[in-house]
Structure 1
């Protein structure tokens, strides 16, 4: 057995003592994109994964959130394609859907129904198992990247100034050291990165938490006949109503299936009770999702998840954090899944890491510090979008809304209200929601002027469904306003 104080490094060559190696801890979505970001700058990338990764688009242990609704917004999808060229085509060939926005979304905002303006953005929709597999398969075809499966991350090596490797354990064996020029933590929401750094004497990493107490209950359905091109449907909560925030969402994915997620904050949580599932969907601010599910066939049981708090680790503000260590994805910021930004933030973080590597390579002085700041930029946008709403729900924990929050909230509500009747405003908001622009997009002169003018069209009285989409509802189930505003408003709505 190896000496615990000097674990062996079986991957280090005597002929090439300098490793020129990146180690990625975690082989999920964020980890594989991080490996893709690093592979051109090192001789090898070692992915340390505690599970055995499936050989195809199959469920894997340790990823319960895969059963819930996922979307890859345009900003994240573009980043994935840049890191793993060709993966978008593979996903589409496997049945994933590229859904135009806002044309392909029926959404009730706190200020009313959004119109389905001509396409300005898009979202990729598919099952998480398919998405992860397509990326994993493409990345691992590169001979520079390999996985150590069933291997536990035990710690970091180095000191408070620089991380120079990781300690790992396979099965019941001894701890072993893998030397690395760069270690990337992609272990997700439960990351022990700050604790690992503290063990080297590094300063603590400040953490922020905003927890609205969201519970998710999701299941798969077979879409009814004629629903092959169904749009995304989401009924949002309105924090100003004073009660729990309840949301219902349908994401159309491959194989003519709907991924349905219901969510609620404290006091209004959904459960795995089959008899109550449809009633919950019908009881949110509009019954459209529930009425559509009445005619769909359940394909799975109900999966419930309660680990949904917004949690951010402020690595970018740690000026004295060690070099040689970077975190990506949920290991930096785990976001309330209701906003669908987690995967896009992970992809943009990996893209930011690659940009910094291009500046000077894996051993460039200050690489980790610059990368942490670059990763923090898209993270900050998504964090602001999520917590800016979550702090207002009853029972939200972490911090109470302050006067600035209330002022910003009123401004954002004005933008949303304007966007329901203004194509220009809808486009600006979607720029930010898809993470293709930062929050500064919302204070540009054109947006400020549009906010003063307000919506250019009257509020819709019902969901903007096409005649074909309305046909998915039986006459008795046609929701309030469905035959009025819906008949007059189709995805061909223009500015």
Structure 2
């Protein structure tokens, strides 16, 4: 019951990535112990690890996710920034071409994002989570099946690197094994029905490359050319993120029929074919630091575990809702899901009947908001596979497009859209009277003819020394 002191239970987390360590942070204060099972060795420094191919691509941690992580693991923000991550104000810290035009940068800060390499983001979270009392990491081991009945999961069988197997019992098992999760098959092995799924696949492929930045990245903005699903043919877009070490992480993306490749000679050429050549023009001024890395596993896939009647099992992050990385919401949705899990565990016994279903619904709410942001765009591309837009979807999309166009010259709208994009608020804010009135009124200023660049940013394009940043 709410308001009572919950009894304490054992937790088994499958997967030691970002979602798994956030789940440990959420549940450790309310359990007798948390065991994390991870197949690969996890480094104790912010360097690359096996089992995380998406770390080679640009990751934006929106303020909604960063705030959730900080609430779960106080001090993480300080670790990120101390290791070279950048806190970038929004919207003024982003040079962005939206489907409605170039955004202005004269507005005050509404939200922010953390710009860093994925390895750095995960390292700080992992370090703080593994330092919590009762949290233990079992690396070099992987789950092979769940234990229990069709009404309750009671643990998992773990296979160690030497091939031996071990039974691990738990009052709650959290699946955080990501897109490749085998949990639907494991649950079927216990006699449960198939997990309902919704799939939207725009065939997005990512090509990414690191560059040595030609300028001090401390005050450098995010450069972003957004995909426009209203245009005929495949969509394409790209991002330059300033990250630690004086580097840029550059990711380019294209939908089915127009994907980038791993050819190094074609990377900048692909950027030049996008709606604006701005990213290509910046890449002409800097030195690549490695090969082009391509990823094609980008399908939006939502597994509706909340519809199952089973206790003792919860899925978090990509295991439950995998999102097209194009919109950058995966980490933030997982973080907010972990925070929701923490809030529920603070008032209810983790092992009690009905806890898992309540937890899955709570986890699903922030994931549903991110899901709508992704699939509303992806479903509109002509060669998308899966759920197609309904009439209501098309009406909503037209309204959102009107907002996007208006946001290029109206702070009321850009603030609302920024709050939604960063997952600080739900989509209901877009229906507030002042936002609707602004959309009806439309743009208040003529569109910008080009990107809103500072003198320092323009100097880089011209190949000149950048002026010293002003304070």
CA contact (8 A) 1:159 1:201 kept: yes
Q: TM-score, normalised by structure 1?
A: 0.90
Whole-angstrom distance in 2 between the partners of 1:113 and 1:314: 38
Whether 1:454 aligns to 2:442 is yes
What is the CA deviation profile of residues 414-472 of structure 1, one whole-angstrom value per residue up to 9, with x for unaligned ones?
A: 11111111101000011110001111111122221111111222211110111111111
Whether 1:335 aligns to 2:323 is yes
Structure 1, unpaired ranges of 5+: 1-17, 477-490
Matched residue, 2:229: 239
Whole-angstrom distance in 2 between the partners of 1:137 and 1:226: 28
Q: Residues 30-109 of structure 1 correspond to what in structure 2 (within 5 A)? A: 30-109=19-98
Matched residue, 1:191: 181
CA contact (8 A) 1:227 1:472 kept: no
Give the C-alpha shift of residue 404 in structure 1: 1.8
Matched residue, 1:484: none
Q: Residues 200-219 of structure 1 correspond to what in structure 2 (within 5 A)? A: 200-219=190-209
Whether 1:414 aligns to 2:402 is yes
Give the C-alpha shift of residue 361 in structure 1: 2.7
What is the CA deviation profile of residues 465-489 of structure 1, one whole-angstrom value per residue up to 9, with x for unaligned ones?
A: 111111111179xxxxxxxxxxxxx
Whole-angstrom distance in 2 between the partners of 1:92 and 1:227: 13
CA contact (8 A) 1:19 1:180 kept: no
Whole-angstrom distance in 2 between the partners of 1:30 and 1:297: 34
Whether 1:473 aligns to 2:461 is yes
What is the CA deviation profile of residues 194-229 of structure 1, one whole-angstrom value per residue up to 9, with x for unaligned ones?
A: 211111112221101110001100010010035542
Give the C-alpha shift of residue 237 in structure 1: 1.7
Whole-angstrom distance in 1 between the partners of 2:218 and 2:380: 37
CA contact (8 A) 2:217 2:243 kept: no
Whole-angstrom distance in 1 between the partners of 2:463 and 2:82: 36
Matched residue, 2:139: 149
| 2:219 match: secondary structure | coil
CA contact (8 A) 1:100 1:119 kept: yes
Give the C-alpha shift of residue 143 in structure 1: 3.4
Whole-angstrom distance in 2 between the partners of 1:315 and 1:135: 26
Q: TM-score, normalised by structure 2?
A: 0.95
Matched residue, 2:371: 383
Q: 1:20 to 1:123 in 2, by over 3 A?
A: same
| 2:460 match: secondary structure | coil
Q: What is the alpha-carbon root mean square deviation over aligned residues?
A: 1.6
Matched residue, 2:427: 439
Whole-angstrom distance in 1 between the partners of 2:370 and 2:292: 28
| 1:239 match: secondary structure | coil
Whole-angstrom distance in 1 between the partners of 2:95 and 2:339: 31
Matched residue, 1:279: 269
CA contact (8 A) 2:8 2:30 kept: no
> Which shows bigger deviation, 98-107 or 354-363?
354-363
Whole-angstrom distance in 2 between the partners of 1:19 and 1:444: 43
CA contact (8 A) 1:226 1:472 kept: no
Matched residue, 1:289: 279
Whole-angstrom distance in 2 between the partners of 1:52 and 1:312: 28
| 2:42 match: secondary structure | coil
CA contact (8 A) 2:39 2:139 kept: yes
Match of 2:341 among 343, 346, 353: 353
Whole-angstrom distance in 2 between the partners of 1:73 and 1:462: 26
| 1:241 match: secondary structure | coil
Match of 2:297 among 301, 307, 311: 307
Give the C-alpha shift of residue 64 in structure 1: 0.5
Whole-angstrom distance in 2 between the partners of 1:378 and 1:404: 21
